[in-house]
Amino acid sequence: MARHRLALLLLPLALAACSPSLNWREVRLAGGELKALMPCKPDQATRKQSLAGYEVDLTMLGCEAGGGLYAISVVELTTPLQALPVQAQWQTNLLATMQAQGSSRQPYGIRGASTQPESVRLQAQGRDSEGRALTVQAVWFTHGKRLYHAALYAERPTPEMSEPFFSGMELP
């Protein structure tokens, strides 16, 4: 009887974890160095970007699923010393683009990431380009001369959306 009750209590959690709108799969970015999970088949693009006075090639994987936009990006820096100013400019640009009305930052732990600059996780509320409420959860971390950025944009991100995405990233 106790097992039956436990099974009934856990059934909604199991069904939520198997949400058909979030079809998690392993993806690789930047020559296979970063392994990550995304809830949909991502598109990939590369473009020139100016960040903190440096011209960099930004490579991005991105897709939309379950009410969220998921993106993972990387830039190859000339030297690791560029990481801090590029990361700071990237964060400033993100917050300005979404007209953020407040943000919080905390350390982000990913094994294999460089310690300088410190890996960071940011959360902010703002507006999308059409004025709708938008929340972003984003991380930045470095590995060698590569600066990575991963973000989830959604009106109301849930743990089912964010936890597999942010905890599924691995460096060698």
Tens digits of residue pLDDT in 84-115:
999 999 999 999 999 998 899 999 989 889 88
CATH 3.40.1000.10 fits 23-167, yes or no: yes
Residue 57 is encoded by which pair of tokens?
Answer: 């090639």
Residue 117 is encoded by which pair of tokens?
Answer: 């600059």
Contact yes or no for 119/127 (Cβ under 8 A): no
Q: In this structure, how many other beta carbons lie within 10 angstroms of the beta carbon of residue 53?
A: 9
Residue 74 is encoded by which pair of tokens?
Answer: 């990387």
Binned at pLDDT 50, 70 and 90, residue 77 comes out as very high
Tens digits of residue pLDDT in 24-37:
999 998 667 899 99
Residue with tokens 């809830």: 39
